[in-house]
Structure 1
Amino acid sequence: MDINDLHPPDDYSHRFFIWHEWIQANGPLTAENVFDYFATSMFYDKQSNNQVLRMQTIHSGLPIENEAEELKRFTGVEFAVVHSQPPTMFIVQKRERLSPDEVRPMAAYFIMNNRIYQSPDVYTILSNRLLTSLHSLQTSLDILRSHRPDYTPRTGFVWPITDPSLPLEITKKRTTEDDAMNVDEASSIAAPKRKVPNSPEAPRRQQNNMLLLNAMRATAAHSKMSLASSAFAASAENLPAETPVTHIRSSATPGPSSQAATPKNVPNAPTTQEPAKVPPGGGKKKRKRI
Structure 2
Amino acid sequence: MDVNDLHPPDDYSHRFFIWHEWIQANGPLTHENVFDYFATSMFYDKQSNNQVLRMQTMHTGMPILNEAEELRRFTGVEFALVHAQPPTMFIIQKRERLSPDEVRPLAAYFIMNNRIYQSPDIYTVLSNRLLTSLSSLQSSLDILRTHRPDYTPRTGFVWPIMDPTMQEESAKKKASEDDTNTVTETTSGVASIKRKALGSTEPPKRQQNNTLLLNAMRATAAHAKASLPSNTFSANSDSLMVDTPAPHISSSATPAPTPSQSATPKNATNVPSPQEITKVPPGGGKKKRKRL
Which runs of 5 or more structure 1 residues have no equivalent in the other structure?
173-290
State whether structure 2 residue 98 is matched by structure 1 residue 98.
yes
Q: Which residue of 2 aligns with 1:116?
A: 116
Query: Aligned partners of 1:28, 1:6: CA distance in 2, in Å?
Result: 35
State whether structure 2 residue 168 is matched by structure 1 residue 165.
yes
SS in 1 for 2:169: coil
SS in 2 for 1:63: coil
CA drift of 1:8 comes to 3.4
| Count of equivalent residues | 170
Post-superposition Cα deviations, 1:90-143, rounded to whole Å, max 9, x if no partner, equal: 111111112222222111111122121212222222221111111110011111
Preserved contact between residue 93 and residue 105 of structure 1 (Cα < 8 Å) = yes
Query: Aligned partners of 1:94, 1:34: CA distance in 2, in Å?
Result: 15
Kindly, what percent of the aligned residue pairs are identical?
A: 81
Q: Which residue of 2 aligns with 1:144?
A: 144
Query: Aligned partners of 1:24, 1:167: CA distance in 2, in Å?
Result: 63
Post-superposition Cα deviations, 1:180-220, rounded to whole Å, max 9, x if no partner, equal: xxxxxxxxxxxxxxxxxxxxxxxxxxxxxxxxxxxxxxxxx
Preserved contact between residue 74 and residue 97 of structure 1 (Cα < 8 Å) = yes
Which runs of 5 or more structure 2 residues have no equivalent in the other structure?
176-292
CA drift of 1:76 comes to 0.8
Q: Which residue of 2 aligns with 1:255?
A: none
CA distance change for structure 1 residues 20 and 5 in 2, over 3 Å: closer, same or farther?
Answer: closer
State whether structure 2 residue 54 is matched by structure 1 residue 79.
no
CA distance change for structure 1 residues 138 and 101 in 2, over 3 Å: closer, same or farther?
Answer: same
Q: Which residue of 1 aligns with 2:65?
A: 65
Query: Aligned partners of 1:129, 1:147: CA distance in 2, in Å?
Result: 27
Query: Aligned partners of 1:21, 1:139: CA distance in 2, in Å?
Result: 46
Query: Aligned partners of 1:41, 1:116: CA distance in 2, in Å?
Result: 8
Q: Which residue of 1 aligns with 2:126?
A: 126
Query: Aligned partners of 1:169, 1:63: CA distance in 2, in Å?
Result: 76
Preserved contact between residue 162 and residue 171 of structure 1 (Cα < 8 Å) = no
CA distance change for structure 1 residues 25 and 116 in 2, over 3 Å: closer, same or farther?
Answer: same
**TM-score normalised by length of structure 2:** 0.52
CA distance change for structure 1 residues 169 and 81 in 2, over 3 Å: closer, same or farther?
Answer: closer
SS in 2 for 1:143: helix
**TM-score normalised by length of structure 1:** 0.53
SS in 2 for 1:165: helix
Post-superposition Cα deviations, 1:163-182, rounded to whole Å, max 9, x if no partner, equal: 4422448569xxxxxxxxxx
Greater helix fraction, Structure 1 or Structure 2: 2
Which AA in structure 1 matches 2:123? Y
SS in 2 for 1:166: helix
Which AA in structure 2 matches 1:107? A
Query: Aligned partners of 2:45, 2:10: CA distance in 1, in Å?
Result: 14
